[in-house]
Structure 1
Amino acid sequence: MQRVEQRQYEKGDCGVACIAMVTGKTYEEAELTFHKYGLVLDGEYYTTHKELIVVLEMLGRQAVRKKNSSNGTLLSTLRL
């Protein structure tokens, strides 16, 4: 996995960088997906974990939420 740096930190693009990193896409390819599906509002990229799961599914990846067996909190798990 190659590290992908944020380009617009002040606009909350960490989700774009993360999606690019885990899917092997470029930052620009991931960013295009965010724009295509209306996840960039007024130039801001802030996304929830649920929206990131949707983006992963749009890019052909599967992500599911599971409970942490040690404390019962929900975790998101990615299957590549």
Structure 2
Amino acid sequence: MTNLAQPFLMGKWANPAFTNQFRQALQNLPPATLAKRLISVLQVDVVDALKNLDVPVLYLRATKDRPIPEQMSWDFATELEQ
């Protein structure tokens, strides 16, 4: 699994040392736990709550983020401006 997932996550920055660390981390994590975490992340939507904040919001996005498409940051910024 790590041989397939790691290049997707790291792209051209993939390297054997990180692949080994990634593999070790996944071996210590039950598959059901990983699945639940991923599902939770996909279900989170706090845009309405963020609109009610009375303080500035800083959104950091990696410029080469492979799992999260750039379009998602556009949607996020557009929603907050409304």
TM-score, length of structure 2 as denominator length: 0.27
Asked which structure has the greater RCO (Cα within 8 Å, sep 6+), the reply is: 2
TM-score, length of structure 1 as denominator length: 0.28
**Considering only CA atoms, is the larger Rg found in Structure 1 or Structure 2?**
2
